[in-house]
Chains A and B, each alone.
Chain A
Amino acid sequence: MQAFTDLFVSLDSTTATNAKVAALRHYLEQAPAGDAAWAIYIVSGRRAKRLAGRPLLKDALQTLTGYPEWMVLDAYATVGDFAETASLLTEEVRATDARGDQHSLAYWMEQEILPLADLDEEAKKQKLMDWWQRLPQLSAFLVTKLITGGLRVGVSQTLVARAVAELADLPRDVITHRLMGEWQPGAGWFAELIDPDITADLSSRPYPFYLASPLEHEPAELGAREQWLAEWKWDGIRAQLVKRGGEISLWSRGEELMTERFPEVIAAAASLDDCVLDGELLAWKDQVLPFAELQRRIGRKTVGKKLLADVPVRLLVYDCLEHAGSDLRSQPMQARRDTAEQLTDGADERIGTSPLLTAQSWEALAEAREGSRERGVEGLMLKAADSPYLTGRKKGAWWKWKVEPLTVDAVMIYAQAGSGRRATLFTDYTFAVWTEQDGERSLVPIAKAYSGLTDAEINKLNRWIRANTIERFGPVRSVSAEQVFELAFEGINASTRHKSGVALRFPRIARWRTDMQPEDANTLGQVQDLLQLYGNT
């Protein structure tokens, strides 16, 4: 555990990518294969099931320290991370001889942490209290983090792949590919990961996804219109459908296996040749349904008959990465697209291709784009016809050209501290619009937003919040209704869960309207007009 704690400190105490890669590589070189496997699992953000809930941790913490609940909660609100709070509050009961633990990371994961799942709550609590007293503060923090979920140390999958690739002296995309999908950490797995034989079986794995970048200039600057393919930008779930040797699997961009969640798509793929298709899962009944509908299917491991009938899902394919065992990624976009069309031609209606827009000029495309919101899409995708399939966020081949967001001017009424690195700043805000009843004007919450301000604005707003707090409710403060913000959002839906009756999609702060008085903010009536125009009916 001590070696892993040291690795954590190295990763956590630098923002330089090269230093992180070096630290990781150094650890992987020294560590036994089992530890190396677990370290990769942990730092790349994978997580075991949560093994102890917040109430249990809180209970153990109160029992051990004797501090009242409100104090533990206030400490948590200040720290922004429960595991860290626990490791700090237990410092006073920590054994003075608490020092580096002799057991390996694999021992901790396999013999101590994961077996917690089989213990009852009381036994878990005893374990926690024992560890908090026995382990030095940083190790206590790490162990608690691993019990409660993941550990973020600012290490991306790409960075892990770089370190492993350097270590194994293999191409990075081979490692990236091997790291994708589901795997069980262990010494054997690590040996396979760095196995120099790269023809090894990669049967069900998807390819690393290529991600589009937002278009920040005029499309005409991209060159001639005919060098680009234009499609609608769908608002669904990005997915790769992998069919090899007749075996079908469906993967999300987050590398989650979704095969069981979308049985209609899997069934439709039965008639296809072996291939890997890249596309978008969408809720679809004659036309695309709002994302809110698709959301009902997300997170369900199994789907009932009713839900299948209410929210049928369709895969709209826009790329073909592999056909009959050959990797097509170096072929031009246009060729891959043609292959995708041939493959899906005549397939079940649950798999189709995302149509190309035929508009001949950039101007005509821009005009078509104006109709995006009515169509239930987010704008256009522009793809270079001659480009290979790249990986990650490399800019240049795929651009998303979204429509301008909707906006509303709303008044800030609550502020809450963020978590993690933003725990000491108020960064989560609740906004409200005016509503009128019996001649009384009052504010009704419409959205929460976390982003969109610069650091300087956040600092300024924090000073204002501290000086204009009306009441504190734990980490939340109500503030005087004075500050107006322009909120941008991507869509609007009716909602029974919100007092306002509407839910905004992806709300964020567009501008701090210091030029506006609170009474100039929008009314709920005006927001409801937007719902009529663009909402899901």
Chain B
Amino acid sequence: MPLVELTDKGLYCPAGDFYVDPWRPVPRAVITHGHADHARPGSGLYFAEASGIPILRQRLGADLKAHPLAYGESLALGRARVSLHPAGHILGSAQVRIEVDGEVWVITGDFKRDEDPTCAAFEPVTCDTLITEATFALPIYRWPDIDVVAADIFRWWQANAEQGRASVLFCYALGKAQRVLAALMTHTQQRVLLHGAAVPLTNIYRKAGVAMLPTEPALEAEVEKKFAGELIIAPPGANGTAWMKRFGDCGTGFCSGWMLLRGNRRRRGYDRGFVMSDHADWPALIQTIEESQARQVLATHGRSDILVRYLTERGMRAAELRTEFGDEDLAAEA
């Protein structure tokens, strides 16, 4: 019998009677990370890596019942032994290792292997079956070096400043915003303004000891006319809203893995697209699958069809798992 099965409530482990990232309320939920498609409200008890718990409380409610775990700490749930391991996706993000009677399954959750000082670096975990995300499972996806991208963002900000314009950088409020704030530290110590949605999450990161540029809520800051020369970080949803009007003629940029493709850059209508993803690119996916030594790979969301066919043609056992995690649609957090 499989250690983990797909049910209408989510990925379920019968031996331990718990779910991983369920999409309906369940008694016991193990959570890989705090993004909305993985952490949903209403469950009885949430198991998550300790640094991720404040994020869950911020997003799902302060009274959330949580059981914090350290990376590597082992917990017995029913007949299963469960432990969390760094996934490198965002603060507190984890892979879930499940062991029952000597058989090991690992659920990667969302992960990346690129450098990111805002969270613990990904650690490969060996297993028999690997359930992996496949958001960017096509060999066109290879991420540029984060330092190159950060330098690009900084140059763009400065070029706008020289023209007396503000720069509004759109990126997901949880994870990406903080990663940008950390990456820019090699270029400046200037204070950055935040859209309200990014403020509490950035505070959580600061409390966790993540070094980032100083920040201030955009609406409280004393600024020159039309925010000339300022960098403002905002979630993509803020684009085109009345909130934007205060910045006048400003430069707009968007940080996402999807920005690798010219078609996406043009369609989105931002001035600039910066390629920065918190998901694994193609080489990282393949490396992770190889290092896991898994005999079977189950792929969820994104381009799982591609990954499964590619692995199958290489003689591996692979199949798709139709989860309700972020669709291949341009999910903002990618």
- Chain B residues within an 8 Å CB radius of A85: 140
**Pairwise interchain contact A75-B138, C-beta atoms closer than 8 A:** yes
Q: Known interface pairs A15-B269, A466-B329. Does A423 touch B261 (Cβ–Cβ under 8 Å)? A: yes
**Pairwise interchain contact A74-B138, C-beta atoms closer than 8 A:** yes
Give the contacting residue for B310; candidates A16, A65, A71, A88; CB below 8 A.
A71
- Interface residues as binary, B304-320 with A (CB distance below 8 Å gives 1, 0 otherwise): 01100110010000000
**Pairwise interchain contact A91-B142, C-beta atoms closer than 8 A:** yes
Q: Is the interface of A mostly helix, strand, loop or mixed?
A: helix
Give the contacting residue for A421; candidates B266, B271, B305, B328; CB below 8 A.
B266
A46 to chain B, nearest CB (A): 21
Interface residues on A, range: 20 to 34
Q: Using CB atoms, name the residue of chain B closest to A88.
A: B140
**CB under 8 Å from chain B, chain A span 44-98:** 65, 67-68, 70-71, 74-75, 78-81, 84-85, 88-89, 91-92
**Pairwise interchain contact A421-B306, C-beta atoms closer than 8 A:** no
Q: Known interface pairs A420-B263, A425-B267. Does A75 touch B140 (Cβ–Cβ under 8 Å)? A: yes
A419 to B267, CA, bound (A): 11
Give the contacting residue for A68; candidates B140, B261, B303, B313; CB below 8 A.
B313
**Pairwise interchain contact B329-A92, C-beta atoms closer than 8 A:** no
**CB under 8 Å from chain A, chain B span 265-292:** 265-267, 269, 271-272, 283
- Chain A residues within an 8 Å CB radius of B330: 424
The reply on A463 being an interface residue by CB < 8 A is: yes
**Pairwise interchain contact B271-A70, C-beta atoms closer than 8 A:** no
Q: Known interface pairs A15-B269, A89-B139. Does A70 touch B309 (Cβ–Cβ under 8 Å)? A: yes
Sample of 4 further A-B pairs with CB below 8 A, known A78-B140, A423-B264: A14-B271, A75-B139, A79-B140, A424-B264
Give the contacting residue for B139; candidates A12, A65, A154; CB below 8 A.
A65
- Chain B residues within an 8 Å CB radius of A75: 138-140
**CB under 8 Å from chain A, chain B span 237-281:** 258, 260-267, 269, 271-272
The reply on A498 being an interface residue by CB < 8 A is: no
A366 to B270, CA, bound (A): 44
- Chain A residues within an 8 Å CB radius of B260: 88
**Pairwise interchain contact B327-A466, C-beta atoms closer than 8 A:** yes
A424 to B273, CA, bound (A): 16
B280 to chain A, nearest CB (A): 15
**Pairwise interchain contact B309-A424, C-beta atoms closer than 8 A:** no
Q: Using CB atoms, name the residue of chain A closest to B262.
A: A84
**Pairwise interchain contact A13-B263, C-beta atoms closer than 8 A:** no
- Chain B residues within an 8 Å CB radius of A92: 139, 142, 283
- Chain A residues within an 8 Å CB radius of B309: 70-71
Give the contacting residue for B262; candidates A14, A81, A91; CB below 8 A.
A81
Give the contacting residue for B329; candidates A12, A74, A462; CB below 8 A.
A462
A400 to B272, CA, bound (A): 38
Q: Using CB atoms, name the residue of chain A closest to B330.
A: A424
Kindly list the 10 A-B residue pairs having the minimum CB-CB distance in the complex, ordered from nearest. A421-B267, A421-B266, A88-B140, A423-B263, A421-B263, A80-B263, A75-B140, A91-B142, A420-B263, A13-B272
The reply on A26 being an interface residue by CB < 8 A is: no
Q: Using CB atoms, name the residue of chain A closest to B271.
A: A14
Interface residues on B, range: 20 to 34
Give the contacting residue for B306; candidates A74, A154, A420; CB below 8 A.
A74
- Chain B residues within an 8 Å CB radius of A79: 140, 261, 263
B310 to chain A, nearest CB (A): 7
Q: Using CB atoms, name the residue of chain B closest to A418.
A: B263
B153 to chain A, nearest CB (A): 13
**Pairwise interchain contact A422-B263, C-beta atoms closer than 8 A:** yes
**Pairwise interchain contact B271-A15, C-beta atoms closer than 8 A:** yes
**CB under 8 Å from chain B, chain A span 469-497:** 472
A401 to chain B, nearest CB (A): 33
**Pairwise interchain contact A71-B139, C-beta atoms closer than 8 A:** yes
Q: Using CB atoms, name the residue of chain B closest to A67.
A: B139
12 sample A-B contacts, Cβ–Cβ < 8 Å, listed by A number: A68-B313, A71-B306, A74-B138, A79-B263, A89-B139, A91-B142, A421-B264, A423-B261, A423-B263, A424-B258, A462-B329, A472-B305
B191 to chain A, nearest CB (A): 26
A528 to B271, CA, bound (A): 48
- Chain A residues within an 8 Å CB radius of B271: 13-16
**CB under 8 Å from chain B, chain A span 434-478:** 462-463, 466, 472
**CB under 8 Å from chain B, chain A span 172-190:** none
- Chain B residues within an 8 Å CB radius of A68: 313
A181 to chain B, nearest CB (A): 30
- Chain A residues within an 8 Å CB radius of B261: 78-80, 84, 423-424
**Pairwise interchain contact A81-B139, C-beta atoms closer than 8 A:** no
Q: Which of B138, B272, B327, B328 has the most CB of A within 10 A?
A: B138
**CB under 8 Å from chain B, chain A span 391-439:** 419-425
- Chain A residues within an 8 Å CB radius of B327: 463, 466
Q: Known interface pairs A65-B139, A71-B139, A466-B329. Does A81 touch B283 (Cβ–Cβ under 8 Å)? A: no
- Chain A residues within an 8 Å CB radius of B269: 15
**Pairwise interchain contact A420-B138, C-beta atoms closer than 8 A:** no
A217 to B303, CA, bound (A): 48
A154 to B303, CA, bound (A): 30
B265 to chain A, nearest CB (A): 8
A424 to B142, CA, bound (A): 18
**Pairwise interchain contact A89-B140, C-beta atoms closer than 8 A:** yes
A70 to B307, CA, bound (A): 12
- Chain A residues within an 8 Å CB radius of B266: 12, 154, 420-421
A71 to B282, CA, bound (A): 13
- Chain B residues within an 8 Å CB radius of A80: 261, 263
- Chain A residues within an 8 Å CB radius of B138: 71, 74-75, 78
A482 to B328, CA, bound (A): 23
- Interface residues as binary, A10-32 with B (CB distance below 8 Å gives 1, 0 otherwise): 00111110000000000000000
A148 to B223, CA, bound (A): 50
A92 to B142, CA, bound (A): 8
A16 to chain B, nearest CB (A): 8
Q: Which of B142, B263, B309 has the most CB of A within 10 A?
A: B263
- Chain A residues within an 8 Å CB radius of B303: 78
Q: Using CB atoms, name the residue of chain A closest to B272.
A: A13
- Chain A residues within an 8 Å CB radius of B263: 79-81, 84, 419-424
- Chain B residues within an 8 Å CB radius of A71: 138-139, 306, 309-310
- Chain B residues within an 8 Å CB radius of A13: 265, 271-272
Q: Which of B262, B313, B329 has the most CB of A within 10 A?
A: B262
B148 to chain A, nearest CB (A): 12
Q: Which of B141, B266, B306 has the most CB of A within 10 A?
A: B266
- Chain A residues within an 8 Å CB radius of B306: 71, 74
- Chain A residues within an 8 Å CB radius of B267: 421-422, 424-425
- Chain B residues within an 8 Å CB radius of A91: 142
Q: Using CB atoms, name the residue of chain B closest to A78.
A: B138
**Pairwise interchain contact A466-B140, C-beta atoms closer than 8 A:** no
A423 to B261, CA, bound (A): 9
Q: Using CB atoms, name the residue of chain A closest to B310.
A: A71
Q: Using CB atoms, name the residue of chain B closest to A77.
A: B138
**Pairwise interchain contact A463-B140, C-beta atoms closer than 8 A:** no
Q: Which of A85, A420, A421 has the most CB of B within 10 A?
A: A421
